[in-house]
Amino acid sequence: MAALQKEINMSKLKSKAQKSKLQQIQNDQGEKIIQLSQKSKYPRSYRFDVETINLLKELVEKVNVKSKKPVSETELLKVLVRLGKKSGTEKLLKILKETSY
């Protein structure tokens, strides 16, 4: 009799263990758990001449003097890309002609 009682208790434990808390929540409420994915950043590398690197460093220093928090070269490059997008094409082409050798 004790063996039968023990076997019944074990089967109850097994059935409870098979039902996870997540499955119970999903079955009870009909909701699905969705995992949010973050946008991944793609590393890029660009080659700049010494003059351009120095200009970038000077810009970073100027911005950091006026900024409340430090700005990195990458952040400044992102800003410059967005600024270029807002600028007219003619203005970009003019600057491109000035900087081309």
Query: What is the residue extent of each domain of the chain?
Result: 1-31, 50-99
**For position 64, what pLDDT does the model report?**
95
pTM over 0.75: no
pLDDT in tens, 38-65: 667 778 888 888 998 999 999 999 999 9
Q: Under a CB-based contact definition with an 8 Å cutoff, are residues 76 and 63 in contact? A: yes
Residue 78 has pLDDT above 80, yes or no: yes
Q: How far apart, in whole angstroms, are the C-alpha atoms of residue 33 and residue 24?
A: 12
**Sign of the CA dihedral running 73, 45, 41, 80:** positive
**For position 43, what pLDDT does the model report?**
80
Instruction: Say which amino acid occupies 100.
Output: S
Give every CB contact of residue 57 below 8 A, 6+ residues apart in sequence: 73
Q: Under a CB-based contact definition with an 8 Å cutoff, are residues 31 and 22 in contact? A: no
pLDDT in tens, 3-38: 656 666 666 666 666 666 666 665 655 555 566 666
